Amino acid sequence: MESDIKSSSQSNHSQEQNLGSILSVRSSIIDIHFPKRLPYINSQLQTGKGGNLSIAVVSHLGAQVVRGVALAPTAGLTRGEIVIDTQQPLQVPVGDRLLGRMLNLFGEAIDEKEAIAGGEWRSIHATPIAMSERVTKAEILKTGIKAIDLLTPLERGGKTGLLGGAGVGKTVLITEMIHNMVKQHQGVSLFCGIGERCREGLDLYQEMAATGVLPNAVLVFGQMNEPPGVRFWVGHAALTMAEYFRDRSQKDVLLLIDNIFRFIQAGSEVSGLMGIIPSRVGYEPTLATELAQLEERICNTSAGAITSIQAVYVPADDFTDPSAVAVFSHLSAAIVLSRKRASEGLYPAVDLMESNSKMLMPHIVGDRHYQIAQAVRKTISTYEELKDIIAMLGLEELSPGDRQVVSQARRLERFLTQPFFSTAQFTGLTGKLVELDDALEGCERILNDEFADTPERSLYMIGSIDEVVKAPKEGKKS
């Protein structure tokens, strides 16, 4: 068994300590003089009372001076204060012992349970898997959620963007995906909160505990109030834990990141504090490189896969913003949540027209799936175009063909709703995990007008279409 990183650190210090002293402190940026030898890039340094303040080395300024980013508030630090080189990078614990726990960047428990000590620890800095070791075959990761599996299939080992404002069901959808990942794929879910509000993190933890998915999940947070260095590296810490589950435990991992924009924002803050001249719109010139170093670690191998779903904040809804452009270039699918659908009670509130996936191709999903998905999109798109006419003149003024399209579209919208396991305690409806074949069959039969006489409400919040086979007779009696 590998020794604890802390005891290893103490052992190194006792053999030969490499000591330096602080030259300057500018917010989170600290310049340090090391007369003996320079610490390596990414080395972890310690200073402050009891060595409670960690610093990550980011650059060498000269033969004896390094520049580092503080990973805790720097209030109280003074010039000349002693700094210890731990002679190793920042490391985090890995393994099954993390399941059900909530941690920070340093692998310290923040859930008021016992501390995590001993066992295996790994550096948060790792190079992406070589292309020769990746599994490049396009595979679909089924979520058990009809609207997603049908219209925006997720790539196993790929990255999916989750776009939506507050109150449209983002957290509920994330919780449901965690539940389904555990139930359907016997995998592990890892939630990484980057720049997350403390309140939102606590709400998610309590929801996961209440719905029973916490024992198969790990939560890692770099909170909004913490220095930019913490928010910048916490994503790498979460990925290190995920890579262990993929490579050593040979499990599929669902990595949820909320919010990837905060990672970019933290990098921009660090870059500005270091005096680097910004590029377009004030972002750091190394934006694309830093994001790629994180995103390219998310992939699938012969042992398992890391599939990521990332909440994406788009500044001022400007999709040409450099941060949005950089993120979208890595995504294989985008799930857009609609406030309008949420207001109509159509949950999950996935915007069926705006959401898209690169995996929705005939040679990947098959001809039948592709044709049904295209027919669903066309039907709903036509309905959207007719809504203004219906509002002004009424449904009766439409041609018989258009009325048929409206009938199909409204039934498709309701069929693509679904009760969730994560909301069962609030709605009283038992959650449903729907197979892709059942979703395809249901949409196909609705498009064939088999349920033209069935009340729309009979298709609302169900699983497979078989649940409404008797609905026409019941509708006639009512």
Peptide bond into 104 cis (omega under 30): no
Q: Is the peptide bond before 472 cis (omega within 30 degrees of 0)?
A: no
In contact, 333 and 357? CB cutoff 8 Å? yes
Catalytic one of 36, 197, 378, 387: 197
* Active-site residue, selected from the candidate residues 176, 196, 243, 290: 196
pLDDT at 144: 93
CA gap 138, 449 in Å, rounded? 34
3-state secondary structure labels for all residues of the chain? CCCCHHHHHHHHHHHCCEEEEEEEEECCEEEEECCCCCCCCCEEEEECHHHCEEEEEEEECCCCEEEEEECCCCCCCCCCCEEEEEEEECEEECCHHHCCCEECCCCCECCCCCCCCCCCEEECCCCCCCHHHECCCCCEECCCCHHHHHHCCEECCCEEEEECCCCCCHHHHHHHHHHHHHHHHCCEEEEEEEEECHHHHHHHHHHHHHHCCHHHEEEEEEECCCCHHHHHHHHHHHHHHHHHHHHCCCCCEEEEEECHHHHHHHHHHHHHHCCCCCCHHHCCCCHHHHHHHHHCCCCEECCCEEEEEEECCCHHHCCCCHHHHHHHCCCCEEEEECHHHHHCCCCCCECCCCCEECCCCHHHHCHHHHHHHHHHHHHHHHHHHHHHHHHHHCHHHCCHHHHHHHHHHHHHHHHCCCCCHHHHHHHCCCCCCCCHHHHHHHHHHHHCCCCCCCCHHHHCCCCCHHHHCCHHHHHHHC
Catalytic residue among 122, 142, 170, 432: 170
Both tokens of 342, joined, read 């949420």
Rounded CA-CA distance 305/137 in Å is: 12
Q: Crossing angle of helices 170-185/198-211, nearest 10°?
A: 40
User: In which region does residue 23 sit, left (phi positive, over 0), alpha (psi from -120 to 50) or beta (all else)?
Assistant: alpha
Q: What local confidence, expressed as pLDDT, does residue 172 receive?
A: 84
3 pLDDT above the threshold of 70: no
Q: What is the pLDDT of residue 211?
A: 76
| Chain segment 139-198, per-residue pLDDT in tens | 899 999 999 999 999 998 899 999 877 778 887 888 888 888 877 777 889 999 998 787
CA separation, residue 157 to residues 3, 139, 251 (Å): 32, 8, 12
Average pLDDT over residues 336-354: 91
Q: From CA 106, how far away is CA 220, in angstroms rounded? A: 10
Best-predicted range by mean pLDDT (10-24, 46-60, 369-383): 369-383
- Cα–Cα dist 354/151, whole Å: 10
Alpha carbon 134 to chain centroid, angstroms: 21
Residue 14 pLDDT grade (very low, low, confident, very high; cuts 50, 70, 90): very low
**Cα(221)–Cα(206) distance, integer angstroms:** 15
Length of the chain: 478
Q: Which of left, alpha, beta for 85 (phi over 0: left; psi -120 to 50: alpha)?
A: beta
Residue 472 confidence class, pLDDT cut points 50, 70, 90: very low
At 319, the pLDDT band (50, 70, 90 cuts) reads confident
**Confidence check: pLDDT of 6 > 80:** no
Return d(Cα 458, Cα 469) in angstroms, integer. Answer: 10
> Lowest-pLDDT range, 27-36, 137-146, 194-203, 219-228?
194-203
Q: What is the pLDDT of residue 470?
A: 52
Q: Which two tokens stand for residue 8?
A: 């290893």
Paired sense of beta strands 217-223 and 102-103, if any: parallel
> Which residues are bridge partners to 85 per DSSP?
18, 45
Question: What are the distances in angstroms from CA 204 to CA 174, 180, 353, 414, 429?
Answer: 9, 16, 28, 28, 21
Please answer whether residues 85 and 56 qualify as being in contact, where contact means their C-beta atoms are separated by less than 8 angstroms: no
**Mean pLDDT for the stretch of residues 278-295:** 91
Cα dihedral 45/49/52/57 (nearest 10): -20
Which tokens go with 420? Answer: 């969730």
Catalytic-residue membership of 112: no
**Full set of structural domains in the chain with CATH:** 5-89 (2.40.10.170), 93-356 (3.40.50.300), 367-477 (1.10.1140.10)
Average per-residue pLDDT for the chain: 89
Q: What is the pLDDT of residue 180?
A: 85
Question: Residue 27 half-sphere exposure, CB side, CA atoms within 13 Å?
Answer: 11
Q: The pTM is what? A: 0.85
Q: Is 196 a catalytic residue?
A: yes
- The model's pLDDT over 75-89, given as tens digits with 9 standing for 90+, comes to 989 999 999 999 999
Give mean pLDDT, residues 62-72. 95
403 is catalytic: no
Beta carbons within 8 Å of 11's beta carbon, 6+ residues apart:
none
